[in-house]
Each structure stands twice: as structure tokens, then as C-alpha cells.
Amino acid sequence: MSVILFIIISYLIGSISGSLLLGKFINVDIRKMGSGNAGGTNALRSIGPWFALGTILIDIFKGYFPVILFPQYIDLYNIELLQVLFGIATVIGHVYPIYYGFKGGKGAGTLIGVVLAIFPISILYILPIWIIILICTGYVGLSTMLAGITLVVITYLKYPFGILSTFGYFSIIISLFLLYTHKDNIKRMIKGDENKFEKIMIFKRFFSKSS
């Protein structure tokens, strides 16, 4: 019973949107701006870097907090399973928040918090991949999806028992879930309509200056 209770609490914590919470202080609803998404990317595009940073930090912390804290209060041997269950609950809460009509972000920020809690060394591999893809393409969505796939690869190579572990199965499921939550981004990239962060594409800027 306590496991179910903590899963529900994890979902409720995950449902707290960083952008919508901060938006209350400046009287804006990020879902009515830009792409309409409540995540950090739309926060950056629509309002600015400091608002986006606050959004991302809140979203990361709410993924980290339940996974680290809640298993300590449950007398169950398989801590890894508890961490994964609470992690999934927070990510689902972020994407489908009960407080905001089940319209939230795409799960990436909260997932970072979950991964930091369970398999922190993987961030040393995932973050550079995310940055490199973003710099080369300008696509945040593509960077995030490939970072999710990288998590599966690193889990296979570095995590105890690899992808046959509980976290291994979680990494596969969550990478597929990221593809699902970014399905509109995929459609726009295929059509050539996806927005790019031109300013971060340093190679393009370098070559344009050289020419």
C-alpha cells in the first residue's frame, strides 16, 4: 500500500510544472505562448534564459527528489525497482499534469533528475551528445531524442547487468517515450518546419564568417 501511495505522490510532484509555477509570479501562461509546450525549450524561446533556467531546475529537482527520498521509507529489498517506479510516475506527471488539464512538457527535464538519482555517471556521456547534436543541427528535440537513445547504449555498456536490469528496461521504455512525446517535432523536421536555435549553431556561424 505504501508503494502505491508514494507512486501517487511522485506523480503529483511530477505534475508541478516549473514553467507554469514561475509563470504565476509574472502572470503568464507558457502554454499560450510559442509552441504551447510547458517545457524549458518553449520557456527559453518565449520568455528568456533566466525563466528557462528556473523551469529546468525545478523540473530536474522534482524528478530527482522522489527517486532519492521515497525508497528510504519502504521496507523492500529491490530499491532499484522502487526508484524506477517513482521515476516513471514523476515523468508521467510532468507530461500529463493533473493540475494543468493533463497538458505539460515532454519529460526531458524531469527524466534528467531521475537519471541523476539512479545512474548519475551516465550524464557525463549523455550531456556531451546532447550539446554536440544541438550545436550541429540546432534542433533541441532531435538532441533530446538522441540523448535518450544514448542512455540506452550507456546503460548497456556501463550499468550493472546492462539493459537486462530493471533500470535497463526503464532506459528502453523512456527512450521510446521521448520519441512519442517528440512526435510533432519529428513531423516538423521531416517537413522542414522545425524551429532551430540558430545562435547556438557555432559551426554554421564560423563557416559563414569565414566565407
Return the domain boundaries, the chain: 1-118, 120-211
Determine the Cα–Cα distance for residues 98 and 10; give it in Å rounded to an integer. 12
Q: pLDDT class for 211, splitting at 50, 70, 90? A: very low
Q: pLDDT class for 21, splitting at 50, 70, 90? A: confident
Residue 205 pLDDT > 60: no
Determine the Cα–Cα distance for residues 33 and 39; give it in Å rounded to an integer. 11
Q: pLDDT class for 203, splitting at 50, 70, 90? A: low
Q: What is the arithmetic mean of pLDDT over 37-56? A: 83
- The Cα-based distances of 31 to 21, 196, 205 in angstroms read 12, 19, 31
Q: How many CB atoms lie within 10 A of CB 79?
A: 13
**Residues 38, 103 contacting (CB under 8 angstroms):** yes
Query: pLDDT higher for 192 or 86?
Result: 86
Residue 128 pLDDT > 50: yes
**Full-model pTM:** 0.88
3-state helix, strand, coil in the chain (%, to 5): 80, 0, 20
Q: pLDDT class for 39, splitting at 50, 70, 90? A: confident
Determine the Cα–Cα distance for residues 55 and 40; give it in Å rounded to an integer. 6
Segment (H or E) for 148: helix 140-158
Q: What is the pLDDT of residues 144-166, one digit of tens each?
A: 999 999 999 999 999 988 889 99
Using alpha carbons, select from 206, 186, 190 the residue that is nearest to residue 136: 206
* Neighbour-count burial of 107, counting CB atoms closer than 10 A to its CB (0-12 exposed, 13-18 middle, 19+ buried): buried
Q: How many CA atoms lie within 13 A of 79 on its CB side?
A: 10
